[in-house]
Structure 1
Amino acid sequence: MSITLTTWSLEQTSPDDLRPSPAPEGRELRIARAGFPSAEFSRFLYTAVGGDIHWGDRLSLTRPQWQAILEKPGTETWVAYEDGTPAGYVELDAQDEGVVEIVYFGLIPAFRGRGIGGRLLSYGVARAWDLAERWPERPPTKRVWLHTCSLDGEHAMANYERRGFRLFDTKTEQIEPSETPGSWPGAGA
């Protein structure tokens, strides 16, 4: 039995488009760049954040393939930590002509609904806009874009719009539902 999947693509075309979210009150939230590109840590974040919302496109990659993605110049992973525990991440991918894609963004389920997502997204978008400062071989950022879909968290689209992203494309397709990849083999809920 197939399901309808809607994918929305959103963009910002100026750093002035970003409407940052304040840090959540009453918590120690730290956002830091993963300075050493580690396939193992990246896979942990990917499965921990995306396991319950059907992320699976990278699960068939070998460790060397995953590592090659992370080592591409202009690829960055920014991790949010609440009281020292990884809470979620943003992965940036510098593309041609000053375009930066937010390839992955999300929170580990235990950290959702706590005010962290807006702050992490704000921080990640700001890092997309100033990416060329850390990668001098990359041109200045002219556009930041991402996509979200009807399988993502219920607050995803609203968060993107509140941060200043504008819709530029919508696609709808029928897909066969897959089993939730989970955070580890056999993980259900």
Structure 2
Amino acid sequence: MPRIPVTTWSLEQASPTDVLPATAPEGDVRIVRSEVPSPAFSRFLYSSVGGDILWIDRLGWTYDQWEKHLARPGVETWVAYDQGTPAGYVELEPQDDGVVEIVYFGLIPAFRGRRIGGHLLAYGAARAWDLADRWPGLARTKRLWLHTCSLDGEHAMDNYLRRGFKLFDTKVEEEAEVAAPGPWPGAYPG
């Protein structure tokens, strides 16, 4: 199987004041926390957002794996809706010592390029900083981080930097080249 170089950038914020707002998109765009853990809905978001940018890590997860992950204290999914239709999401996952990771963030392809992403990212980052307010027993957030890679959308890195994230690590590794799986079999022509 052919291998390709993939660059992974890790970015962070050290304070809630690092979050830089984005202009709210036009129209009826709302961001709502998915408060009832739903493996089916979370898998829909994961495969719909990541199908064309090679998100494959969770495609093999069973229902039980999704359920266990979503039931962890502090794991939150915030969903952007455009006129009632899911447009994208941000998933927060608390780690040790007040660290929170934005594990997944992105938009369904049909909603990209409409200024929803910057708004969703700024909102999700703010929710990471106040995560302990919703989860008694969690440490207050002291650091927020995420990673993106050269396989992600072309505007991903710029969006992170414009929302106040700072680069702290860069790695280049060879990875197996895979075809974009799409959100379901046969989703892409060809």
TM-score, structure 2 as length reference: 0.97
Aligned to 2:102: 102
Counterpart for residue 3 of structure 2: 2
**Shift in Å, 1:22:** 2.1
Amino acid at match of 2:46: Y
Question: Is 1:19 matched up with 2:20?
Answer: yes
Q: CA deviation at 1:61?
A: 1.0
Residue 173 (structure 2) aligns with: 173
In structure 2, the residue matched to 1:72 is 72
Equivalence map 1:54-133=2 (5 Å): 54-133=54-133
Query: CA separation in 2, counterparts of 1:96 and 1:20?
Result: 27
Query: In the alignment, what sits opposite 1:151?
Result: 151
Q: Look up the match of 2:161.
A: 161
Q: Secondary structure at the match of 2:117?
A: helix
Q: What is the aligned-residue identity percentage? A: 67
User: For 2:19 and 2:138, how far apart are their aligned partners in 1?
Assistant: 21
State the Cα distance separating 1:2 from its structure 2 match: 1.3
Residue aligned with 1:53, SS: coil
Distance (Å, rounded) in 2 between the aligned partners of 1:84 and 1:187: 23
Q: 1-side partners of 2:172 and 2:143: how far apart?
A: 24
The alignment's C-alpha RMSD in Å is: 0.8
The residue type paired with residue 12 of structure 1 is: Q
TM value normalised by structure 1: 0.98
Alignment-mate amino acid for residue 20 of structure 2: R
Letter of the structure 2 residue corresponding to residue 151 of structure 1: L
SS for the counterpart of 1:170 is: strand
Cα distance between partner residues in 2 of 1:103 and 1:185: 25
Aligned residue type for 1:30: R
Runs of 4+ in 1 over 3 A off after TM superposition: none
Paired AA for residue 171 in structure 2: K
